[in-house]
Chain A
Amino acid sequence: MKKFAYEFFLLGLICVVLAIAAFLDPLFLSSDVQIELSSEIWELGLLTLGMTLIIITAGIDLSVGSAMGLCSVSLGLCMHANLPTGVCVLACLATGLAAGALNGSLVAFIKVHPLLVTLATYGMYRGFAEGLQSATTNAPVDASEGIKALVTGNFPLIQILFTALTAWTAILLGRTATGRGLYAIGHNEEAARFSGIPIAKLKFWIYTYTGLLAGLAAISYSARRSATAEAGLVLELDVIAAVVIGGTSIYGGRGRIAGTLLGVLLIHETRQFVDWYWQRSELTLIVIGTLLILAVLGHRFLFAQDPDTH
């Protein structure tokens, strides 16, 4: 039980948020509203899966939101050209893969600090997305029927993909050699290297995986709204906050997918309620910031280190 103390704390925090929401407006908890508001959680959730792996290795990816924008634009171009749905999807995913692989190569092989790499690509990817859009369609492209059917049709494709990827990532992290390697890198990269852990390969892989997830998230976003360079704007705030609130240590070495999922739920419910009830986005930012600090304090309180052990 002690192992999951923090997860229970998060669950409690979610209940508190929901209770406050129910007190202010019971309608928020009705299934209709919840389902209607739930669409965005899948995109947030997908991105946090990759981000958890990255932060566990003491890395960071600031470029996820921008990569998502770039993917969305490339999807838009394909749809604009009336290409078959399959080609559109592949192009979008390939863009994400390429964006992630660029991050990954710079971090893993050229050994530039991930904060620098992804700060640079955070600007670059968004810039490319906007440039590409204004040079071609110059406006958001409405999703083609094919893409719409894929995402918002009767078959819950994104939801199923998300569930499968979550399970896969959780198993990877908790039960495989790769997962052990990621934790080892996060705790002590030098010792991991001396133990024969393929550091560069693993790092390259997690950034690339995160890029691919950005592609997936872009498909979902574009189908619900439209394919635009605006996709994923400031989403990195929510993604990183959800992962860190979920108990993943920003210093690396600690974190679990279960915690991340709760973090996603907490961020999502809070954001949706504030948006829905007050309809003021600046308030949302403040509330999410407050939550982040609360969670960090809760973490410190629950895992109060014995002052003797450092």
Chain B
Amino acid sequence: MSRTSKPLITIENISKSYGGVQALSKVCLNILPGEVHGLCGENGAGKSTLIKCLAGVVSPETGTITVDGKPLSHGDIHATEAAGIAVIHQESTAFLDLDLVENLFVGREIKKYGWLNRRAMERQALAVMHRLDVTLDLHTPLREFSIAQRQMVEMARACLRDCRLLIMDEPTASLSARETKTLLGLVKQLRESGVSVLYVSHRLEEIAELCDRVTVFRDGRLVATTPIDQLDRNQLIGQMVGREINALTRREEHAGQTDEVRASITGLYSRGSFSDISFEVRAGEILGIGGLVGAGRSEVARAIFGADRYDQGEIKIDGASLKKGSIQAAIEAGIAMVPEDRQHQGLILPMSVSENLSLTILTEITRHRLIHHGHETAQVQHLMRRLAVKAANAKMEAASLSGGNQQKVVLGKWLAIKPKFLILDEPTRGVDVAAKAEIHRLIRELTEAGMATLIMTSDLPELLTLSDRIQVMCEGRIAGQLDGATATEEQVMRLAFPRSEAQLT
């Protein structure tokens, strides 16, 4: 790729504000043909807003976007599609009640004599799934897929059509190592064939591996666009946050760990999801659960929290056995869970940040049967400060927060109940590097103070730094246990792959 080639996309002076918040101010950027262009910045820096402008979902107030020298009309999704731009948004836009094939072809169904040609659509769907190296049932409604699986569907949808620019907003945030690898491979393949990619991620290793140039945003402004070979990790972080951050390192000695068993799970079994799940989590301990997408981690988390039923087994908290399938009982026993799906399970998007944060502590802020606004505001302010939630004010709709800030609100609402046993399912999905380090510190601090923590994460470095002990799940069973202090990524991956596949590779 030559540096001198004419840009495919030129963005000039794009500005967009929401009420008082300047989400983008006078951004200028160009994307060359056949380059992978990285986009980095803290949560709320304006990355997704820029992408929405490019996608025609949002109209910028000023500025122009030109594709191949031809101006693109603002806020026109069809013009974007016609110009050969395909977008994978940060939050899945899939139809949860439609199946995979219907989702892939929604709005561009293949027809024969005016009738839907389901056979042809299925054939194409299979081909694209094969290319992505995923196996998903074509006829299952998307509701039953995990977040990661839905992400792969979005990916497939974008790959279905030939495009000149593929925009990906944090595509790997919920993917585990294997899917991430496939996806990165695919991006490279696209680049080879001359497609440009605009790639947003908080995972800096991916940016380094994949991108030709990186653009960094801070507070809606473009800080710099730099070729990747002139930038190391620390410089990149420096551009993003304007200061150094101290990422958490592995814990050498287990401060605060006790022998007191907080949660004990024995012989948990749920038909079709998982079986033979037994483990204990002690007070002061972080137990990490690794595994591939679809290994059954989230299902176990939901079963413990009472959100799903299970067929056999027993869950004990502090020695007392827990009522099956009741979230209220679980909360009463001191369990909190940050679910993987923040948009559907974690947050009530149309309600304000404040109402979301206080939803779990309503009894605590009630005085004489009425919600006490003073107490509520105090609690909410405290939580927002503690998790560094970036919002114009607490009255804002949760829907208008950036993805990473939404995730912080979900964490906040569960930390608010001061849980004895905290279950985290992908707790830092979409959270920027600096905030992630803060959240890690917070989790460890609370655990050292006596909480028991169970963390399921696809982010291997996160799993390795946080966990005292690691169990790896594979196809619904626990495949093995590792010591958090010494485990390596390879060890985790070896346990995570099904036997048959491991022999092939």
Interface string of B363-383 (1 = CB under 8 A from A): 100100111000000000000
Residues of B within 8 A of A197 (CB): 359
Measured CA separation A16–B346 after assembly (Å): 45
Count chain B CB atoms within 10 A of each CB in A181, A193, A194 and give the residue with the most.
A194
B328 at the interface (CB under 8 A from A): yes
Residues of A within 8 A of B331 (CB): 196
Question: Which of A171, A183, A194, A309 is close to B307, meaning CB atoms less than 8 Å apart?
Answer: A194
How close is B380's CB to chain A, nearest CB, in angstroms?
13
Residues of A within 8 A of B8 (CB): none
Measured CA separation A111–B212 after assembly (Å): 54
Q: Using a CB-CB cutoff of 8 Å, which residues 170-184 of chain A contact chain B?
A: 171, 175-177, 180-181, 183-184
B351 touches A183 (CB 8 A): yes
A253 at the interface (CB under 8 A from B): yes
Residues of B within 8 A of A253 (CB): 350-351
Interface string of B91-105 (1 = CB under 8 A from A): 000000000000000
B400 touches A309 (CB 8 A): yes
**Looking at chain A's contact residues, is the secondary structure mostly helix, strand, loop, or mixed?**
helix
How close is B333's CB to chain A, nearest CB, in angstroms?
11
Measured CA separation A196–B358 after assembly (Å): 12
Name the CB-closest residue of B to A180: B362
Quick one: given A177-B362, A191-B344, A191-B348, are A308 and B58 in contact (CB under 8 Å)? yes
Residues of B within 8 A of A171 (CB): 370
Count chain B CB atoms within 10 A of each CB in A188, A191, A198, A309 and give the residue with the most.
A191
State the B residues within 8 Å of A (CB): 18, 52, 57-59, 75, 307, 327-328, 331, 337, 339, 344-351, 355, 358-360, 362-363, 366, 369-371, 399-400, 413
Residues of B within 8 A of A198 (CB): 328
Interface contacts beyond A184-B348, A194-B307: sample of 14 additional A-B pairs, CB < 8 Å, sorted by A: A176-B369, A188-B344, A191-B346, A191-B347, A194-B337, A194-B339, A195-B360, A196-B328, A196-B331, A196-B360, A253-B350, A308-B18, A309-B399, A309-B400
9 closest A-B pairs by CB: A177-B362, A196-B331, A194-B345, A308-B58, A175-B370, A195-B359, A188-B348, A187-B348, A191-B348
Q: Using a CB-CB cutoff of 8 Å, which residues 188-241 of chain A contact chain B?
A: 188, 190-198
Residues of A within 8 A of B328 (CB): 196, 198
Measured CA separation A197–B363 after assembly (Å): 11
What class of interface size applies to chain A in its complex with B?
A: 20 to 34
How close is B363's CB to chain A, nearest CB, in angstroms?
6
Count chain B CB atoms within 10 A of each CB in A171, A175, A192, A195 and give the residue with the most.
A195
Residues of A within 8 A of B18 (CB): 308
